[in-house]
């Protein structure tokens, strides 16, 4: 054996052991710990389940791994209770040491989560809660939203109501951040369009004793009613509005949560209602059709906006993770990748604004049977103003 042959064999052996070492390092990449903080009980329980379903569907489509890392889920039921939110989120951050938190539905809970995420530098992806502050004064380079801000669908509906000729409107909602901000967004556009909000009616979250307030609406006789309710509360409100005889006389407009994921239970009482949202049931695009088919196959259910937001939260995580090769320590690179991405959502592709909130079309939908049928685009590529966000 010549010296040259021996040297070549040594070099080959070296290369083989490096390859082996790399392979075992990849095999040993620790699982990515995902903290799912969502409501699994209470009025928003179905919303939490749909978000988790959507998230898992995307991960399943990627073979169960994102950027080569398997996922491990730690789940907390936040009960949509802001009083328990700080303890709940700290369990995920400090006890379970999660790498990323995905949550939640309720705006009040989400604000506590955003504070904890900021204090601890934990990556947070919000798959529903619209709290304006999360992408406003609380914005941060490691906080993202895959859903909407409360301002977005409300502002779009304010424009629609004014264009449809309503002059005097009454609003009715739960007294908490999402309800307040939704009404504020509606009022901003409605009054800009020449209308006037003559009364704001409220009840505490998650109460559903609507009767006294419906009687007040009947005596005020506005041209339109604007509302924000969601989940089980939305089911009861739509049924009570019809039972009070108001549906026949005063048009009811809503942020689309009023009729999303709720139509089976609302039945004919929802028929014809107009709402605004960043998703609808009849988009009929190849992307949405494929998503709906896979979702229905996996869960034997039709998807709703919450499922889409969960799916897109997983897509955003995947985009960032891929850019940093699975290393979530590289926060700036993660953020840069998600900021410049076009997210291939079933709702239609969207990008994020500087404040990390989706810039997206807000559809005008009308309930036809069991569908939120898209009948137009109420506001094209609507960006949340991100008031107070300094990044």
Note the residues at the interface with ligand BEZ (CB under 6 A).
Answer: 44, 105-107, 128-131, 150, 178, 230, 257
Task: Please state the closest distance from residue 225 (CB atom) to ligand BEZ, in A.
Answer: 18
User: Which of 107, 355 has the CB closer to ligand BEZ?
Assistant: 107
User: Which of 107, 276 has the CB closer to ligand BEZ?
Assistant: 107
The rounded distance, in Å, linking the Cα atoms of 132 and 135 is: 6
Contact 389, 380 (CB under 8 A): no
Helix (H, G, I), strand (E, B) or coil at 272: coil
Task: Please state the closest distance from residue 378 (CB atom) to ligand BEZ, in A.
Answer: 17
Contact 162, 168 (CB under 8 A): no
User: Which of 58, 306 has the CB closer to ligand BEZ?
Assistant: 306
Contact 349, 261 (CB under 8 A): no
- Give me 42's structure tokens: 């209470």
Contact 263, 357 (CB under 8 A): no
User: Which of 69, 236 has the CB closer to ligand BEZ?
Assistant: 236
Task: Please state the closest distance from residue 260 (CB atom) to ligand BEZ, in A.
Answer: 8
User: Which of 165, 204 has the CB closer to ligand BEZ?
Assistant: 204
What's 29's DSSP letter? P
Long-range contacts at 9-12 (CB < 8 A, ≥ 24 apart):
none
Task: Please state the closest distance from residue 321 (CB atom) to ligand BEZ, in A.
Answer: 26
Task: Please state the closest distance from residue 13 (CB atom) to ligand BEZ, in A.
Answer: 60
For the purposes of burial, counting CB atoms within 10 Å of the CB of 57, is it exposed (0-12), middle (13-18) or buried (19 or more)? Answer: buried
Task: Please state the closest distance from residue 372 (CB atom) to ligand BEZ, in A.
Answer: 14
Instruction: Look at phi and psi of residue 315 and say left if phi exceeds 0, alpha if psi is from -120 to 50, else beta.
Output: alpha
User: Which of 128, 135 has the CB closer to ligand BEZ?
Assistant: 128
Task: Please state the closest distance from residue 25 (CB atom) to ligand BEZ, in A.
Answer: 42
Task: Please state the closest distance from residue 235 (CB atom) to ligand BEZ, in A.
Answer: 13
User: Which of 233, 348 has the CB closer to ligand BEZ?
Assistant: 233
User: Which of 210, 228 has the CB closer to ligand BEZ?
Assistant: 228
Contact 273, 252 (CB under 8 A): yes
- Give me 28's structure tokens: 């040993």
Q: What residues have CB less than 8 Å from 23, skipping those under 6 apart?
A: none
Give the torsion through C-alpha atoms of 315, 374, 370, 368, to 10 deg: 180
């Amino acid at each position: 054996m010549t010296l040259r042959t021996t040297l070549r064999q040594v070099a080959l052996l070296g290369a083989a052991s490096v390859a082996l070492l790399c392979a075992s390092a990849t095999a040993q990449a620790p699982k990515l710990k995902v903290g799912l903080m969502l409501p699994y009980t209470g009025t928003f329980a179905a919303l939490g389940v749909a978000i988790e379903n959507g998230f898992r569907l995307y991960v399943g489509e990627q073979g169960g791994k994102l950027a080569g890392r398997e996922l491990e889920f730690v789940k907390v039921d936040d009960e949509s209770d802001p009083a328990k939110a700080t303890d709940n989120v700290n369990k995920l951050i400090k006890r379970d040491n999660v790498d990323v938190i995905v949550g939640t539905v309720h705006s009040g809970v989400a604000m506590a989560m955003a504070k904890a995420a900021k204090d601890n530098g934990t990556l947070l992806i919000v798959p529903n809660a619209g709290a304006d502050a999360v992408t406003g004064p609380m914005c941060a380079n490691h906080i993202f939203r895959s859903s909407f801000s409360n301002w977005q669908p409300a502002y779009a509906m304010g424009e629609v109501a004014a264009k449809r000729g309503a002059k005097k409107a009454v609003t009715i909602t739960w007294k908490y951040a999402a309800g307040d901000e939704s009404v504020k967004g509606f009022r901003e556009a409605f009054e800009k369009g020449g209308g006037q909000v003559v009364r704001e009616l409220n009840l505490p979250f998650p109460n559903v004793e609507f009767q006294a307030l419906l009687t007040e609406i009947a005596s005020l006789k506005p041209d339109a009613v604007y509302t924000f309710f969601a989940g089980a509360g939305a089911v009861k409100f739509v049924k009570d509005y019809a039972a009070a005889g108001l549906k026949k006389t005063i048009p009811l407009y809503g942020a689309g949560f009023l009729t999303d994921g709720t139509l089976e239970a609302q039945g004919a009482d929802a028929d014809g209602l107009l709402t605004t949202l960043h998703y609808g049931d009849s988009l009929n695009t190849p992307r949405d059709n494929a998503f709906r088919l896979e979702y229905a196959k996996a869960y034997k259910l039709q998807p709703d906006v919450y499922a889409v937001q969960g799916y897109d939260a997983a897509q955003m995580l995947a985009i960032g993770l891929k850019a940093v090769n699975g290393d979530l320590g590289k926060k700036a690179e993660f953020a840069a990748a998600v900021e410049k991405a076009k997210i291939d959502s079933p709702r239609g592709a969207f990008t994020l604004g500087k404040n990390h909130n989706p810039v997206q079309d807000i559809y005008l939908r009308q309930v036809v049977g069991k569908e939120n049928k898209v009948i137009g685009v109420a506001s094209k590529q609507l960006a949340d103003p991100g008031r107070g966000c300094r990044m």
